[in-house]
Chain A
């Protein structure tokens, strides 16, 4: 196998895994808790911009560039996005379910607007460049560089996966699902639905912010155009395809949908003349939109479907998932 092919494969997977992080965040909000976020692009953008501001070298043309280490930027991006999510959640979660959806849509619009117009901070339409990249010392050797970046992404996704799986099986995770399935019953057991939902929304938002930050450092450059409603839509497609409520599904869906997306984009640029590319790209979105609606209609559980989890203290007594063979017989 040639070096280019391996580098490209690593690049593709790294990109897909940044989406997998966003998907994991969305899975905490939607999959586990049933909170609908239509402003994913805005939350990802907050993480990306905060991290970029913290880590880029000082720039006389705009505020900041604090030159901090990369991991400080990532933590900062995650915390800032978690805070924004907390505030939006606090505003809407006690109201009707779809008010949260409308408010998150508003967040995406306003974040995009702020990124465009707050030029002294965000660099305006041209965005922020020269975002430090992890392992920049190895940039001369594309193979080592791309594999090192992939390694760091794999590590982040794995850590998040393990932590989120433990959370889902913890008492906290069970309360979330209880609230999602039957709020009245959970309330009767003395669980504050608002409090738990708010925590889940803030944690999910923080993970999305982390994803935005990691992605920004991987690409090395951000601009308002990266954070359009299309991004929100792609992430939703990923989670729905993979199976919401299932962390493995979130990661699988991200890699799968990103693969389909990259391939169809390649086909579009091959098949259509340069003058027709914008049109063909619109058609690409139409097809993905139809596909999302079709999945909602035909297979709302996604490929993997939701994993039924019970407390880990119950050991082998795992409940069978509908329509799938269970591993209960092994106990």
Chain B
């Protein structure tokens, strides 16, 4: 077997993990499977692309590559702005759709269906604006550096792995060590009781959307940097995201990240063993196995 699959799997898995953390948070705190989460990944990537392009036009120097990486300061600034815009988008969708359904006391399944409609709308809107033509942050080709043991990686790949690791640790600390994290866990346990105990449930919901959208945006920028940007990129990631969130155990941030890596690695090894055309089925096989053997996931509690 080609050891390179290990590197490819880790990189793809870190992006799945970032998305899955968002899915697992919405699932455990807002209590529904959000089929629109993949679209936040795609929108995040397009936000960053447009801003980076505009910055590059305003000041060409900003697009010059930094050190060994393929992108310039323009993309870093653009990513920070895109995180904010993506958070705004998530809050807007919540205000227009999910928030209203919540106040109508809609059932979980109506929320899931609404998220399905929102996903289609958001995706087709991207296709309308940018067409389905793939786009790239940079046309420059990067040379992969040998890391030993027959594994190679580009500087961009190593950077996105590092960023994902830092973000997951940060989110985990936020949830386990801060006051807002404690409120989030309280709402996840029991929203009514948390409300009675003085937890501001609305604020918690806002934080969940902002956090999920921010992580999705970073995942989208990574995917855009390492692969390409297409309106369908969120849809293609959706099944791996759900597989990872369930495998990790709903509500568990480290679980989602670990499971994301497992899904990414399984996909990479399946590509080596069976062929790239079956890649998309791997997440489904994992999902079926988890539901058969351990429906509560690795770190989940049995109900």
Q: Which residues of A contact B (CB under 8 A)?
A: 34, 36, 38, 91-92, 95, 97-99, 101-103, 105-107, 109-110, 113-114, 116-117, 229-230, 233, 236, 240, 278-279, 282-283, 285-286, 288-290, 292-293, 296-297, 300
Contacts and interface: CB of A to CB of B under 8 A. Distances in A.
What are the 9 tightest A-B residue pairs by CB atom distance, in nearest-first order? A289-B121, A285-B124, A282-B127, A106-B284, A98-B33, A282-B128, A292-B117, A289-B120, A282-B124
Given A99-B291, A109-B284, A285-B124, A236 B113 contact: yes
A295 to B, nearest CB: 9
A229 B238 CA distance: 13
B131 A279 contact: yes
B5 interface: no
Nearest to A102: B242
A116 B118 CA distance: 27
24 contacts: A36-B112, A38-B35, A92-B291, A95-B295, A98-B33, A98-B108, A99-B291, A102-B242, A103-B287, A107-B284, A109-B280, A113-B281, A117-B277, A229-B235, A236-B116, A278-B131, A282-B127, A286-B121, A286-B128, A289-B120, A293-B97, A293-B118, A293-B121, A297-B97
A98 B108 CA distance: 8
Contact of A109 (B97, B116, B239): B239
Given A91-B292, A278-B132, A300 B116 contact: no
B295 A109 contact: no
Interface residues of B, number: 42
B295 A99 contact: yes
A282 B100 CA distance: 26
Interface in B104-127: 104, 106, 108-110, 112-114, 116-118, 120-121, 124-125, 127
Nearest to A232: B116
Contacts, number: 117
B131 to A, nearest CB: 6
Given A36-B109, A92-B291, A103-B287, A113 B124 contact: no
Contacts of B33: 98, 101-102
Contacts of B242: 102, 105-106
Contacts of B125: 282, 286
Interface string B18-60: 0000000000000011010000000000000000000000000
A105 B112 contact: no
Interface string B83-117: 00000000000000100110010101110111011
Interface string B238-265: 1100110010000000000000000000
A279 B131 CA distance: 6
A126 B35 CA distance: 30
B101 A285 contact: no
A283 B124 contact: yes
Given A236-B113, A300-B110, A105 B97 contact: no
A250 to B, nearest CB: 16
B295 A106 contact: no
Interface in B69-86: none
A98 B32 contact: yes
A236 B125 CA distance: 20
A233 B125 CA distance: 16
A282 to B, nearest CB: 4
Contacts of A292: 117
A113 B239 contact: no
A142 B106 CA distance: 49
A109 B124 contact: no
A230 B109 CA distance: 19
A293 B281 contact: no
Given A92-B291, A230-B120, A233-B116, 7 more contacts: A98-B112, A99-B295, A101-B35, A110-B284, A113-B280, A283-B128, A296-B106
Contacts of A91: 288, 291-292
Contact of B246 (A38, A99, A293, A296): A99
B132 A105 contact: no
B105 to A, nearest CB: 11
Given A98-B112, A233-B116, A283-B128, A105 B238 contact: yes
Contact of A297 (B100, B127, B235, B281): B100
Contacts of B214: none
Contacts of A113: 277-278, 280-281
A91 B288 CA distance: 8
A105 B116 CA distance: 11
B274 to A, nearest CB: 10
Nearest to A296: B114
B205 interface: no
B283 interface: yes
Contacts of A38: 35, 112, 116
Contacts of A92: 291
Nearest to B97: A293
A10 to B, nearest CB: 31
B90 to A, nearest CB: 15
A289 B117 contact: yes
Contacts of A230: 120
B117 A102 contact: no
Contacts of B131: 278-279
A66 B205 CA distance: 57
Nearest to A36: B109
Contact of B112 (A101, A285, A293): A101
A99 B108 CA distance: 12
Given A34-B109, A110-B284, A116-B277, A296 B101 contact: yes
Contacts of B120: 229-230, 233, 285, 288-289
